[in-house]
Chain A
């Protein structure tokens, strides 16, 4: 099995432009005292990113995306959300979500 040279350059380029944004803030911000407003702002970023990743996955499909509210991904999210809220168990939530999604797909 050989690696095509053109492909190698593409993948190296992709690796570099992916690594740099991951590396830059850790390397330059971690060992520095940040202003309080920036710490407060960064503290809100995880909730913002997770919600921004999750909600479009639940209520949109296709390229370009369009809105579909009546889909198993969204129905299953509600009991999964309640389970997660009650148990705070990551592994348990993953398993419950999978089982519910599997069950809904068999029924529908």
Chain B
């Protein structure tokens, strides 16, 4: 414990901490920009469904998952029971299992305590931003942790502001509703590192579009992803 304290107070270590924070913030700002309109919209909707700002904040802190929170609020206002809401949340958020598995490949040297802290902030957006940097080998667990928790702060704050005052931002201002879509477009391009990735993306996009039209809910994301990755790997094996 004493030794640990000495290490964390050394100037070198403080410099590393500062560098990780700056790197993390530089990577996280597009996510924060994307979360603001969605967080505000969620806050407004939750308030209309009868939740007070403390209750809204509590859900954003404990759950931290955009689409599941929207669905839960609409189920609450429709009078759904606790079990139905929790089971639905589980189904909607199961895709994070795939994301965490994919990130785990890069986090072999990280302590389990830090992994547990990191896991809390795995979202569609933080996953994609961190994964792109990890695979370019320019990333470590510390800046990745900063990305997750900065995004979390932006999410909690914007849902809280939305819950207090719905008319804080004019609707659709500055095209901000498109921020996350544009971010996904760029993050997808980061992932297209070769022909097999392009094939995977095409199969997955087509499968997701078709499945989303035919099955209710958001399970099409996981189903299409597993199908596409497996098929693409099969195609590569077959060609070789």
Contacts and interface: CB of A to CB of B under 8 A. Distances in A.
Contacts of B89: 13-14, 17-18
Interface of B: 27, 29-30, 33-34, 51-55, 58-59, 62-65, 68, 72, 76, 82, 85-87, 89-90, 93-105, 107-108, 110, 112, 115-116, 118-120, 122, 124, 127-129, 131-132, 135, 172, 174-179, 181-192, 196-198, 200-209, 212-213, 216, 220-221, 224-226, 228-230, 232-233
Contacts of A42: 101-102, 105
Contacts of B221: 49, 52-53
Contact of B208 (A15, A55, A96): A55
A6 B100 CA distance: 31
Interface majority SS (helix, strand, loop, mixed), chain A: helix
A81 B191 CA distance: 13
A89 B229 contact: no
Interface of A: 1-4, 6-15, 17-19, 21-27, 29-31, 34, 37, 39-60, 63-67, 73, 76-77, 80-81, 84-85, 88-91, 93-94, 96-103, 105
A98 B175 contact: yes
A27 B208 contact: no
A3 B97 contact: no
A30 B212 contact: no
Given A56-B208, A89-B186, A30 B107 contact: yes
A94 B96 contact: no
A98 B178 contact: yes
Contact of A52 (B86, B196, B204): B204
A27 B104 CA distance: 8
Interface majority SS (helix, strand, loop, mixed), chain B: helix
B127 A46 contact: yes
Contact of A101 (B135, B175, B192): B175
A91 B25 CA distance: 12
28 contacts: A1-B54, A4-B55, A10-B72, A14-B86, A17-B86, A17-B90, A18-B65, A22-B93, A25-B104, A27-B112, A43-B135, A44-B196, A46-B127, A46-B131, A48-B228, A51-B200, A60-B212, A80-B181, A84-B182, A88-B186, A90-B30, A93-B186, A94-B179, A98-B179, A101-B175, A102-B172, A102-B178, A103-B175
Kindly name the residue among A9, A50, A101 whose own CB sees the greatest number of chain B CB atoms within 10 A: A50
Given A10-B86, A60-B213, A55 B176 contact: no
A91 B119 contact: no
Given A21-B94, A49-B99, A102 B175 contact: yes
Kindly name the residue among A9, A17, A94 whose own CB sees the greatest number of chain B CB atoms within 10 A: A94
Contacts of A46: 99, 102, 127-128, 131-132, 191
Kindly name the residue among B62, B186, B187 whose own CB sees the greatest number of chain A CB atoms within 10 A: B186
Nearest to B132: A46
A63 B221 CA distance: 16
Nearest to A104: B175
Contacts of A22: 93, 96-97, 99-100, 119-120, 122
B215 to A, nearest CB: 9
B188 A51 contact: yes
A51 B189 contact: no
